[in-house]
Chain A
Amino acid sequence: MLTKRIIPCLDIKDGRTVKGINFENIRDAGDPVELAIEYAKQGADELVFLDITATNEKRKTLSELVTRIAKHINIPFTVGGGISSIEDVSVLLKAGADKVSINTSAYKNPQLIKELANQFGSQCIVLAIDTKFENNDWFVYLNGGKVKTETTTVSWAKKAVELGAGEILLTSMNNDGTKNGFANDITKRISEQVNVPIIASGGAGKMEHFADAFLEGKADAALAASVFHYKEINIQDLKKYLSNKKIAIRI
Chain B
Amino acid sequence: MKVAIIKYNAGNIQSVTFALERIGVNPIITDNADEILSADKIIFPGVGEASSAMTYLRNNNLDKLIVSLKQPTLGICLGMQLMCNHSEEGDTNCLGIFDSSVKKFDYEKQQENTLKVPQIGWNTIYNLNSKLFNKIKENEYMYFVHSYYVEKSNDMIATTNYGIEYSSALQKNNFYAVQFHPEKSSDAGQQIMQNFIAL
Contacts and interface: CB of A to CB of B under 8 A. Distances in A.
Interface of A: 1-5, 40, 45, 70-71, 74-76, 93-96, 98, 120-124, 166-167, 195-197, 220-221, 250
A98 B15 contact: yes
Given A1-B161, A3-B141, A70 B121 contact: no
Contacts of A220: 116, 120-121
Contacts of B19: 74
B145 interface: yes
Contacts of A166: 118, 120
A40 B184 CA distance: 11
Given A120-B11, A121-B11, A121-B47, A74 B185 contact: yes
21 contacts: A2-B115, A2-B119, A2-B144, A3-B123, A5-B121, A74-B19, A74-B185, A75-B186, A76-B143, A93-B11, A94-B14, A121-B49, A122-B118, A123-B47, A123-B118, A123-B120, A123-B145, A167-B120, A195-B117, A196-B118, A197-B121
Given A93-B11, A250-B141, A197 B120 contact: yes
Nearest to B181: A76
A75 B118 contact: no
Interface residues of B, number: 40
A220 B113 CA distance: 12
Contacts of A1: 123-124, 161
Contact of A71 (B11, B21, B47, B147): B21
A96 B14 contact: yes
B116 A196 contact: yes
B38 interface: no
Given A1-B123, A76-B181, A121-B48, 14 more contacts: A1-B161, A2-B123, A70-B14, A70-B15, A74-B22, A74-B183, A74-B184, A75-B185, A94-B14, A95-B14, A123-B118, A196-B118, A220-B121, A250-B141
Interface in B26-67: 47-49
A195 B116 CA distance: 5
Given A74-B19, A195-B114, A196-B116, A221 B186 contact: no
B9 to A, nearest CB: 11
Most buried by A among B116, B120, B123: B120
A98 B184 contact: yes
Contacts of A95: 14
Contacts of A96: 14-15, 18
A75 B107 contact: no
Contacts of A93: 11
Contacts of A76: 143, 145, 181, 184
Contact of A40 (B18, B49, B186): B186
Nearest to A221: B121
B122 A45 contact: yes
Contact of B162 (A2, A45, A74): A2
Contacts of A75: 143, 184-186
Contacts of B141: 3, 250
A170 to B, nearest CB: 14
A4 B116 CA distance: 12
A220 B143 CA distance: 14
B80 to A, nearest CB: 15
A164 to B, nearest CB: 12
Contacts of B114: 195
Interface string B1-25: 0000000000110110011011000
B5 to A, nearest CB: 14
B108 A195 contact: yes
